[in-house]
Amino acid sequence: MNLFPKFSQGLAYADFLARYANDAQKARWKQVQDAIALTSAQRDLLRTFKRKMNVACLAGAWCGDCSGQCPIFVHFAAAAPAVDLRFLDRDDHADAQLELKINGGDRVPVLVFFSEDGQEVARYGERTLSKYRQLVSDMGGAGCPTGIVVPGDSLLVQVTQDWLNEFERVQWILRLSPRLRKLHND
């Protein structure tokens, strides 16, 4: 399934929440949005993005994973004019959800990254590695400490960096694309 037409059907963040979220859900999303603080290095990196990135986010306003992560993407888009971010409701776009299943299940949020001309570049979701590490630790504890998670880093800080790593990876794919370099003479 070509998912790029879905991107044009997506809504801006505020419009998505206005349409799909109740007051309690809006408050939860705002609480996370207000807690996110990009570092100056993260903002500087996002400002270096030159290639337009169309990003479709399949989400649900009711979803805890979405309220805990989607505001991160909004901060990225605000810092990087090259990022055009749109939100799709999982239930209203059931055909997209069918295409974007993870491990056979309906999961959100899932991001699909597109080039400026609608070529799919990457898909990523629904939780980051840092979140999975935390969930595994909470469920039964690690058999032994891995040393991977830096003590003192809040989970939100770690998840923000995980997502930024994926946005950066996609940007470099776009930036180094022979097709797009020829188009932009760079």
Residue-range domain boundaries for the chain: 4-184
Q: Report whether pLDDT(92) > 60.
A: yes
What is the rounded average pLDDT of the residues 101-116? 97
pLDDT digits (tens, 9 = 90+) for 144-155: 444 444 445 699
What is the rounded average pLDDT of the residues 51-62? 98
CA separation (Å) from 155 to 69, 129, 144?
11, 11, 20
What is the rounded average pLDDT of the residues 19-26? 98
Element (H, E) at 105: none
Per DSSP, the chain holds a count of helices (H) and strands (E) of 9, 4
pLDDT digits (tens, 9 = 90+) for 167-179: 999 999 999 999 9
Predicted TM-score (pTM) above 0.85: yes
| pLDDT grade for 140, boundaries at 50, 70 and 90 | confident
Please state, as a whole number, how many other Cβ atoms lie within 10 Å of the Cβ of residue 9.
12
Tell me what pLDDT residue 143 has.
Answer: 53
Which CATH superfamily does the domain covering 4-184 fall into? Glutaredoxin (3.40.30.10)
